[in-house]
């Protein structure tokens, strides 16, 4: 189970999430093989036809042609936060910890494994923005949620584990001090 911990010297809060160490490392595989990124990867959980590799599809922005969606929101298979448990603090004073209560979802920005925000059409970008907004609004209304953050890791050096274009949204039970 993850938890929030506060640095006693700086006051900064961090999330400790050991299960995230099990994430796939598709960027290493892509770099080892070189060449262009394929439009479809049979091992990629975000590619159409691989839905069985996803924990849950929460919502999709539909499209009239195959694969039937432009952008989708899914549960994170390796979440840093979980809605299970109690958001109340454990302990007091400098040793206080908070359970890793919250939500951690993924927005798949395109059906194409080789797409990027810079290569999407205006219609596709609008679908991504609408999915971001919808996900944000739903998470912000959940009980005990104080902050919602959208972030996007792009590329291996940024910490992305999958090549497929995606962003992540986290909803936390606390407002970080510098927010």
Q: Which residue's structure tokens are 């996803």? A: 54
Confidence of residue 170 (pLDDT cuts 50, 70, 90): very high
Task: Please indicate whether residue 6 or residue 132 has the higher confidence score (pLDDT).
Answer: 132
This prediction has a pTM of: 0.82
Structure tokens that stand for 9 in this block? 């010297």
Burial category of 107 from C-beta neighbours within 10 Å (exposed 0-12, middle 13-18, buried 19 and up): buried
CA triplet 153, 154, 156: central angle to 5 degrees?
95
CA triplet 37, 39, 41: central angle to 5 degrees?
80
Which pLDDT does position 27 carry in this prediction? 43
User: For the segment 65-74, what is each residue's pLDDT rounded down to a tens digit?
Assistant: 999 999 999 9
DSSP state of 94: G
Task: Provide the CA 45 distance to its chain's centre, in angstroms.
Answer: 13
Contact 73, 131 (CB under 8 A): yes
pLDDT > 90: percent of the chain: 54
Helix (H/G/I), strand (E/B), else coil: 109: coil
Please give the domain boundaries of the chain with CATH numbers for all domains. Answer: 3-172 (3.30.428.10)
Structure tokens that stand for 113 in this block? 């494994």
Task: Please indicate whether residue 100 or residue 169 has the higher confidence score (pLDDT).
Answer: 169
Contact 111, 69 (CB under 8 A): yes
Which pLDDT does position 35 carry in this prediction? 64
Neighbours of 111 (CB within 10 A): 23
User: For the segment 117-163, what is each residue's pLDDT rounded down to a tens digit?
Assistant: 999 999 999 999 999 999 999 999 999 999 999 999 776 666 667 88
Which pLDDT does position 29 carry in this prediction? 47
Q: Residue 28: is its pLDDT beyond 50? A: no
Confidence of residue 46 (pLDDT cuts 50, 70, 90): very high
Computed over every residue of the chain, the mean pLDDT equals: 84
Between CA 111 and CA 66 the distance in angstroms is: 10
């Amino acid at each position: 189970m993850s938890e929030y911990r506060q640095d006693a010297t700086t006051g900064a809060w961090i999330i400790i999430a050991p299960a995230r160490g099990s994430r796939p490392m598709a960027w290493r595989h892509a770099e080892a093989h070189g060449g262009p990124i394929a439009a479809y990867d049979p091992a990629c959980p975000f590619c159409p036809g691989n839905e069985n590799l996803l924990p849950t599809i929460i919502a999709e922005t539909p499209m009239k042609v195959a694969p039937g969606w432009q952008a989708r929101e899914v549960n994170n298979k390796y979440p840093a936060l979980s809605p299970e448990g109690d958001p109340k603090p454990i302990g007091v004073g400098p040793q206080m910890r908070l359970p890793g209560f919250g939500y951690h979802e993924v927005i798949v920005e395109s059906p194409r494994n080789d797409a990027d925000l810079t290569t999407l059409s205006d219609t596709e970008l609008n679908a991504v923005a609408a999915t971001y907004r919808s996900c944000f609004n739903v998470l912000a209304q959940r009980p005990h949620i104080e902050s919602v953050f959208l972030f996007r890791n792009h590329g291996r050096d940024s910490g992305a584990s999958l090549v497929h274009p995606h962003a992540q949204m986290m909803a936390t039970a606390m407002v970080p001090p510098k927010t």
